[in-house]
Amino acid sequence: MIMKPKGREGGRGREEGGRAEGGRRTGGGFGGTGRKRELRRLSDALGDLGAAEALSNEDISLIWFDADMVEGNEEKAKLKETVQDEVSNAVFFYTNKTACMAYIESQTKAKIFFILSSDSYEVDEFPAIHAIVQIDCILILSTNTEKYETLLNNTTFPKIVDIFAELTPLLESIKKQVSLLAKQSAAFSLYDQNQKATRNLSQETGSFLYLQLFKDVLMKMPHTEESKLEMLDKCRGYCRGNKKEMGNINDFYLTYKSNEDSLTIVHKVLKIKHKANDSIPWYTKETFLYRLVNKAMRTEDIEALYTFRFFIVDLSNMLQRRYRLFKRKLGKKEAAKHTVYLYRGFQQSPEEIQKLRENVGNLISTNGFLSTSRARSVALGFARNINRPNVEPVLFEIKTCTALRTAVFTDIKEFSAFPEEEEVLFDLGACFSIDSFEYDEEEKLWTQKMSATDRGLEIVEEYMEFRRKEMAEFDVVIMFGNLLLDMGEYLKAQKYFENLIRVRPDHEHAPSIYGNIAIAHYYKGEYDDAMTNYKKAYDIFINTKPIRYPDAARALNGIGIINRLKQNYDAALESYEQALLLYQKKYKPVHIEVANTLNSIGIIHNKKNEFDQAIDFYNRAYEMYKLTLPADHPDTSSCLNNIGVAYRQLNDYEQAMDFATQSLRMREKTLPSGHPDIGRSCENIGLVHCMRHEYVEGLENCMKAADIFEKKFGPDSIDVLRIKHNINKIKELMGDVTEDTTLMAGDNLLSEKKLALFNGEESTKTALELNNKENDAKKLDMVFEEDELFGDNKSVINMRF
């Protein structure tokens, strides 16, 4: 039997998940039966959102191939039970090579551990197996170890971790590999969107805002024994069949304490005593809780995060409380300057390393709890413990100071199951500046020096304060659904709000719920359904005593947007003007929602080719935005974009370029680098270049837009088809007459999709006439396709009810 050295996988380097004892919750103003009622309403609404399914999708799958194993026999059942208890629920056994390989190659997300426990694979077959990208590592169980020794010692096959003659050491090795990979995946996965744990905040502030907003919502959720039981029920569903984890769940139910006053009836009857701080010891245990919470944090799975809100909030509260106590012990003078140096070791691919090198001077943040060590040697152990191909060791050297507000951390050595690791844990939202990233020739690893900072908070503080004030006006039930909309989870938001109405048709927030259902339908392109729900919301708002003028106006704005999309411009203008009158009954002359409506009216005038009137309304909106919004707000950039488009249509290309460029610069400061609005600004700049006969620059900007749209929406979306149509036109103007069948097919599909926008018209004939008029205009005067949302005035559609 050939074995690599045993021992723990270096320093823990654990980064996410867990919960903490003692964190007090205010419950967002709920108390007694009211809190239980709110929790039930949230739980009912979330019932169909699939959190259990989300939990069941493991990051790591074990594929066990044994051609000699008989399907359905007792040996296989016992082995499966053992692996589930000892390692993971996600284990799949195969006896057929073809079926096994087909399954492996079908996997797109999970990392696969391939276990070969028979001699049915010949040595010359391993190059093909090793080349399968989904396979992360290969372990072999064979009594004939000599057969595979050459593979283990061959540097061409780094995925082959080890060869074993007995089952027990194999399972131990798998457990260590699974644990190590889970910790490494939880660290800084810059490119994997489903496992992303860092953000280039200088470019992706928008994503960071969503994360901070989600934390705010969690902190306002009712924190009760029922939320704990809900979490455990979901975990039982996932761990069904795993005796060890089911025992851990039961142990957690009986012994876990959040607050001193939260004893359950079970605790009282059985007279079970609590330890003072049992949350952090639970965090350090490698159990169902650590694994599932980590995954929810790392993948930003909104339903799973909600399921684990009890645990996540507890840990965040605990870390903040201990941070305050630590600073109090230091004393005010010392706390203002006390510096701590911490370390984290892990491995990264060459591509990920290059990304870090390129971001020296920028900010990064984790979307989970970041684990570090006071001991550099512990972190080095993590960095150098490499049993995976195509990765290199990386050491983070972190400098932090107790004077910072957002870089909350605490030493958890005294609570840890592994005190020798000297673990220090950072709370959610900690931000760091990358000071340097260099290769250390002597130590043979990459070293990134980084300093904890409050700059991430400073960048978003104005915007966050604006959003918090808006959210503070809403019920927590509505707030959570609004967060789903903000995260782009439109189907889940729709189901969430529909469940609220289904469970309680007479819901006190029924009109707001209908309004938010309409928003979800709008973003899904279901305009008739959106119109229906906007009208339901408006009818209730306008007939409520006293009349809810602002909410009724928001519903009218939504109706106006749908009419605009259907090219019913007169009806849209009437809705916007009515909305403006309603706002004026309640608001002062200068107000954000008045500005939004002025911008919408400008859009209608632009659509009616009344460009001077459009610019007048845009300018009125822009001046009001400057008085009511933080600097560089997305609504301000959208308005500037619209002004630029209007000037382009007036053939004033100098003004058009100026406003389009201003819009792009704003968006690049506040939005993720791949945000569709950045694509729209690039497209508009490209069109201006083309109007100025600067086709090379025009093509370059439209190609940037196409790349953003395709990554965001897919190849057949109307945005992608529109921009590809533009690209085709530009190439024609440049003299490229090569027929591109893809683009030609795209033009046909674009026409079909545009016809679909008119599905609410009285007759198909009307839709066809509208489309034919547009085609005639193209023939007469080379007109580029415009964005159907015309600058996408999200300020109106995003006004939550």
Q: What per-residue confidence (pLDDT) applies to 472?
A: 41
pLDDT band for 759, please (50, 70, 90 cuts): very low
**Quick check: helix, strand or coil at residue 190?**
coil
Does the pLDDT at position 65 exceed 50? yes
Given 455, 470, 487, the domain boundary residue is 455
DSSP line for 711-753: HHH-TTSHHHHHHHHHHHHHHHHTT-----HHHHHHHHHHHHH
Q: Are residues 169 and 237 in the same domain?
A: no
| Max Cα–Cα distance, the chain, nearest Å | 86
- pLDDT, position 799: 61
**Least-confidence region, from 62-76, 366-380, 446-460:** 62-76
User: Does the pLDDT of residue 180 top 80, yes or no?
Assistant: no
Please choose, from the candidates 693, 786, 691, the residue with its C-alpha nearest in 3D space to the C-alpha of residue 734.
693
Beta bridge partner(s), residue 440: 445
Taking a C-beta distance cutoff of 8 angstroms, is the pair 620, 659 a contact? no
Q: How many CB atoms lie within 10 A of CB 776?
A: 10
Whether residues 220 and 179 share a domain: the answer is: no
Position 248 in a domain: yes
User: Do 22 and 153 share a domain, yes or no?
Assistant: no
Give bridge partners of residue 64 from the DSSP assignment: 93, 115
CA-CA distances (angstroms) from residue 121 to 100, 113, 129, 575? 13, 16, 10, 71
Round to whole Å and give the CA distance between 511 and 537: 4
HSE at residue 672, side-chain half, CA atoms within 13 A, is 16
Choose one of 399, 432, 455: the last residue of a domain.
455
* Contacts by 566-572, CB closer than 8 A, 24 or more apart: 566/527, 566/757, 566/758, 566/760, 566/761, 567/607, 567/757, 567/758, 567/770, 569/604, 569/607, 569/608, 572/604
Quote the pLDDT of residue 424. 95
**Confidence check: pLDDT of 3 > 60:** no
Q: Which two tokens stand for residue 486?
A: 């903000």
Q: Are residues 247 and 306 in the same domain?
A: yes
Residue 154: give its domain's CATH number.
3.40.50.2300
Task: Please give the pLDDT value at position 75.
Answer: 62
Dihedral, CA of residue 726, residue 731, residue 735 and residue 736, to nearest 10: -130
Range of the domain at 719: 677-794
Question: At residue 331, what is the residue type?
Answer: G
CA–CA dist 183, 2 (Å, integer): 26
Q: Which of 15-29, 333-347, 506-520, 522-536 has the lowest mean pLDDT?
A: 15-29
User: What percent of the chain shows pLDDT beyond 70?
Assistant: 72
Q: Which residue has the higher pLDDT, 568 or 126?
A: 568
Question: What pLDDT does 569 receive?
Answer: 95
Classify residue 590 by burial, with Cβ atoms within 10 Å: 0-12, 13-18, 19+.
Answer: exposed
Q: What is the pLDDT of residues 480-519, one digit of tens each?
A: 777 778 767 788 889 888 888 887 787 788 898 999 999 9
| DSSP letter, residue 18 | -
pLDDT at 721 over 90: no
State pTM to two decimals: 0.63
pLDDT in tens, 153-179: 777 787 888 888 888 888 888 877 776
Q: Of 102-116, 180-194, 300-314, 606-620, which range is least confident?
A: 180-194
Mean pLDDT of the chain: 76
Q: For 72-84, what is the mean pLDDT?
A: 67
Dist CA 655 CA 647 (whole Å): 6
Residue 148 in this model has a pLDDT that exceeds 90: no
Is the model's pLDDT at 641 over the cut of 70? Answer: yes
Residue 272 has pLDDT above 60, yes or no: no
179 and 244 part of one domain: no
Residue 774: band (very low, low, confident or very high) from pLDDT cuts 50, 70, 90: very low
Same structural domain, 43 and 137? no
Count of structural domains within the chain: 3
Same domain, 279 and 402: yes
Q: Which helix (H) or strand (E) holds 433?
A: strand 431-440
pLDDT at 285 over 50: yes
Judged against a pLDDT cut of 60, whether residue 324 lies above it is answered with yes
Determine which helix (DSSP H) or strand (DSSP E) holds 99, and give its type and residue range. Answer: helix 97-106
* Residue 143 burial by Cβ neighbours in a 10 Å radius (0-12, 13-18, 19+): exposed
Are residues 199 and 344 located together in one domain of the fold? yes
- What confidence tens digit (pLDDT) does each residue in 669-708 have? 888 788 888 998 999 999 999 989 999 999 999 999 999 9
Residue 120 CA, distance from chain mean position: 43
> What pLDDT sits at residue 33?
42
Both 393 and 427 in one domain: the answer is yes
> Band of the pLDDT at 306, cuts 50, 70, 90?
confident
Phi, psi angles (nearest 5°) of residue 363: -105, 145
Evaluate the CA torsion angle 393, 189, 228, 474 in order and state its sign.
positive
Are residues 335 and 410 located together in one domain of the fold? Answer: yes
Same domain? 271 vs 149: no
What values do phi and psi take at 718, rounded to 5?
-65, -30
DSSP-H helix ranges across 419-526: 455-472, 476-486, 490-503, 510-523
Residue pair 376/424 in contact (Cβ under 8 Å)? The answer is: no
Which pLDDT band holds residue 122 (cuts at 50, 70, 90)? Answer: confident
Q: Are 408 and 426 in contact (CB under 8 A)?
A: yes
User: Do 140 and 252 fall within a single domain?
Assistant: no
Sheet arrangement for strand 160-164: 91-94, 60-65, 111-116, 135-141, 160-164
* In a domain? residue 765: yes
Q: What's the rounded mean pLDDT across residues 237-252?
A: 85
